[in-house]
Chains A and B, each alone.
Chain A
């Protein structure tokens, strides 16, 4: 079973700061997902990565397959970025379910 570790668990920062959230996993994967969950529960897929780097707006996600590590970066953070960010991995092919990290609670203060 893949073990997914995220750090930090909680992060409070000021508006405009550069944010980094880290994720490591124990077993090789076919894909890694970064998800965002707002209070009230809805989950939004931000990125799906199998290699390299992806950018969407102020969000950047990178993955290092050899080191089994991924990072999610937020540039010019804003209070509306406040949410729980979850790393989840797909450990195999086919319709395998994701294994989730515990999430990082991010609060961006004005």
Chain B
């Protein structure tokens, strides 16, 4: 069965650079969630989208933005990267009505 796809899987950037992470949800899923997991930390919710509209916002820095496109894939844009942005970024998708979130493999971002 198709799973959530994230790209790239690994990304290395310098401070102050920008990064774009992509998430392709399971087909027919209408909701996408983004989470950030710092080293040794539990995941923190960043933002979610339902039917291409922002649905809920968590602890997402102002330097980050995200959107969901007409094909339901989502992109997380990160600007002015800081060392503290180094983390594993997970995307999850669900059918809004079903609640169960299916997680992607994550993108490991390293900021040098």
Contacts and interface: CB of A to CB of B under 8 A. Distances in A.
Whether chain B is bound by chain A comes out as yes
Given A33-B100, A43-B103, 18 more contacts: A41-B108, A42-B106, A43-B106, A45-B100, A45-B103, A50-B99, A88-B43, A94-B50, A95-B55, A95-B56, A95-B96, A96-B48, A97-B46, A97-B56, A97-B58, A98-B35, A101-B42, A102-B42
Contact size range, A:
20 to 34
Contacts of A42: 103, 105-106
Contacts of A45: 100-103
A95 B102 CA distance: 13
A100 interface: yes
Given A41-B108, A43-B106, A100 B42 contact: yes
Interface of B: 31, 33, 35, 37, 42-50, 55-56, 58, 88, 90, 94, 96, 99-103, 105-106, 108
A32 B55 CA distance: 20
Closest 5 CB pairs of A and B: A97-B45, A95-B55, A43-B103, A95-B48, A100-B42
B101 A98 contact: yes
A86 interface: yes
B99 A90 contact: yes
A3 B58 CA distance: 15
